[in-house]
Amino acid sequence: MASAALIEGFERRFLAARPLPSFPWRSLEEKLKNSLDSELLLNILQKTVLHPLCVKHPPSVKYTRCFLSELIKKHEAAHTEPLDELYEALAEILSAEESTQCHRSYLLPSGNSVSLSESTAIISQGTTGLVTWEAALYLAEWAIENPATFTNRTVLELGSGAGFTGLAICKMCSPKAYLFSDCHSQVLQQLKGNILLNGFLLEPDSTAPLQPSVSTLVSPKPTVMAVQLDWDLVTTEQLSVFQPDVVIAADVLYDPEIILSLIGVLQKLSACQAHQGSPEVYIAFTIRNPDTYQMFKTELRLENSEKSIYKRETKVEGLTHCAYWTLLPPLIRQ
């Protein structure tokens, strides 16, 4: 692995706070064996702990401490020349206090980035929405590879969580309007903070449609809203305000009890836009429980007997644990 690629591998993983075992440690060891110079380690330090994004939006103290400890181990094992900056960085982090909030930053193909404030706990305040889940990353990657799906269109995201997928789409795919939503008030509060953190202005909650007129111009920044949306309580009339062209959701099917609620809200969205055609729907989730996965497909097919919402399952090449659905009503009965 070339030095530039190695450094980038560390940079991307550290900014996104990926698990430490996923880092290219073995490649680093090989590089250090062939050089007594500490320049490579200094470059890695500058692209991780000392990166401007990390200085502005730091990862968790514990994560940074563990990373630096591992980097120092590699440095000492290789017997390269001393590097004071490593130990200075460790001393600084050892004196820092841990917080319940931390940051992750993701570099986009455009050179731009998405930074998120997240909870340090996976389950926090009774919700899983305070962290970014794998399927959100996969769906964002798919969206970036298929920008025409979102360009100059109104997008509704169900269960936005920390907001990564939507922020990536807003920065890379030029939607006309993007509507983030979640049912948990604490998640919504953090979500709004992340939207502002990434340079977008939030429109006030309103009952006016997001796209009152049709335009062929691509706006540099979409209209952005964040609303509290309970799938079981929301009415067709309330949903009709949004008029989305595209509906997306990522990793919202972690509990079997949620499946019927999701199908219900998709039906309502289909019904309230019958006069202009139902929205395209893209759902991604990691298959943790095969029974939940099968139940989702079964319920979609059952609903299909009256008002079809299930058309086809499509696999995205290279994604082994993530399933995507394109739900394009009116659909053909399976």
**Could you tell me the two tokens for 86?**
């490593």
User: Which amino acid, 245?
Assistant: D
Q: By C-alpha distance, which of 111, 20, 28, 108 is closest to 75?
A: 28
If one counts every other C-beta atom within 10 angstroms of the C-beta of residue 44, the result is: 24
**Could you tell me the two tokens for 24?**
């290219």
**Could you tell me the two tokens for 311?**
């058309």
223: helix, strand or coil: strand
Find where tokens 């980038």 sit. Answer: 8
Cα 99 to Cα 121: distance, rounded to the nearest angstrom: 11
pLDDT at 210: 47
Start-to-end Cα distance in the chain? 48
Q: By C-alpha distance, which of 115, 229, 223, 103 is closest to 170?
A: 223
| pTM greater than 0.85 (yes/no) | no
Q: Widest CA span of the chain, in angstroms?
A: 72
pLDDT per residue as tens, the chain (334 positions): 679 999 999 999 999 999 999 999 999 999 998 887 789 999 999 999 999 999 999 999 999 999 999 999 999 999 888 899 999 999 999 999 988 889 999 999 998 999 999 877 653 343 444 445 678 888 898 899 999 999 999 999 999 999 999 999 999 999 999 999 999 898 999 999 999 999 999 988 644 444 433 344 455 789 999 999 999 999 999 999 999 999 999 888 777 788 889 888 988 888 886 667 778 888 887 777 778 878 887 877 765 444 434 334 444 333 333 344 443 332 222 2
Do residues 12 and 107 make contact, with C-beta atoms less than 8 angstroms apart? yes
Helices (H) and strands (E) in the chain, counts: 12, 9
